Amino acid sequence: MKRSVRLLLLSDQVHPHVHSPRFPENLPPFDLVLAAGDLPGTYLEYVATKVRVPVLYVPGNHGEEWVLEEGRRKRPGGVVNLHGRLFRHQGLLFYGIGGVPRYREGEGQLSEGELLRLALKPFPLAFPRRLLLGHGVDVLLTHAPPPGPSAGEDFAHRGAGAFLLLHRLYRPRLHVHGHTPLLGANPKRRHRTPLGVEVVHAQGYALIAL
């Protein structure tokens, strides 16, 4: 029997359980790290130096996923920027889209056309895989949420409509995102869409088996 793949999810918040000298021994074992944006590049590099599994991330919209080297910004080392690319691991196919639907000028702001092009980019590989296996991609990693219960009520935190097209075309098993505030006594951290896609908000950290 094939065992589950265990994922450590991160986004939007440097969590003391992760940014800790005891990490990763203070958490249950995991096979992969997925970071859904708005995390400092130094934090991503710290995680990468502490684990022996791949660390995949997408950039957020606050321009944090950089490190300074000799006065110049560069992307963090030891991690995989999944924005607009596919990644295979333990038989699963991952795809990522960073940034958010445009709400003002600035880094990490994408037009509807740009989001649509990114949603269609994996089509030549992912759609035939969907027909054969049922899932064109297994895990979708984004910063923005899809429309639905985990989207924000304000314009800046709205869901990206292009992600619903991606759900219809590729039927991911899991959609991991960040960006929206998790406030209130019972925030909506996890839900399943009518198409059967499990959506998980990764703020802080979460552990999930797939």
pLDDT value at position 182?
Answer: 77
Helix/strand/coil for 175? strand
Q: What is the pLDDT of residue 183?
A: 66
The per-residue pLDDT of the chain, averaged, comes to: 93
Lowest mean pLDDT of 9-13, 23-27, 98-102, 187-191, name the range: 187-191
Amino acid at 21: P
* Least confidently predicted of 14-23, 86-95, 176-185, 191-200: 176-185
pLDDT given for residue 189 in this prediction: 85
127-152 pLDDT, tens digit per residue, is 999 999 999 999 999 999 999 998 98
pLDDT the model gives residue 70 = 85
Rounded distance between C-alpha atoms, residue 205 and residue 188, angstroms: 15
The pLDDT value recorded for residue 3 is 74
Q: What is the end-to-end Cα distance of the chain in Å, rounded?
A: 14
Q: How confident is the model at residue 153 (pLDDT cuts 50, 70, 90)?
A: confident
DSSP per-residue string spanning 83-137: BT-EEEETTEEEEEE-SEE-SSSSTTEE-HHHHHHHHHTTHHHHHHHHHHHS-S-
Element (H, E) at 162: helix 161-170
Give percent above pLDDT 70 in the chain: 96
Residues present in the chain in total: 210
pLDDT grade, residue 2 (50/70/90)?
low
- The answer on pLDDT for 186 being more than 70 is no
Name the pLDDT band for 160 (thresholds 50, 70, 90).
very high
Q: How confident is the model at residue 181 (pLDDT cuts 50, 70, 90)?
A: confident
| pLDDT in the model for residue 185 | 45
Q: For residue 64, is pLDDT > 50?
A: yes
Residue 10 CA from chain centroid, whole number: 8
The CATH code of the domain at 6-209 is: 3.60.21.10
Asked if residue 112 has pLDDT above 60, the reply is: yes
Cα distances from 70 to residues 40, 51, 115, in angstroms, run 18, 26, 33
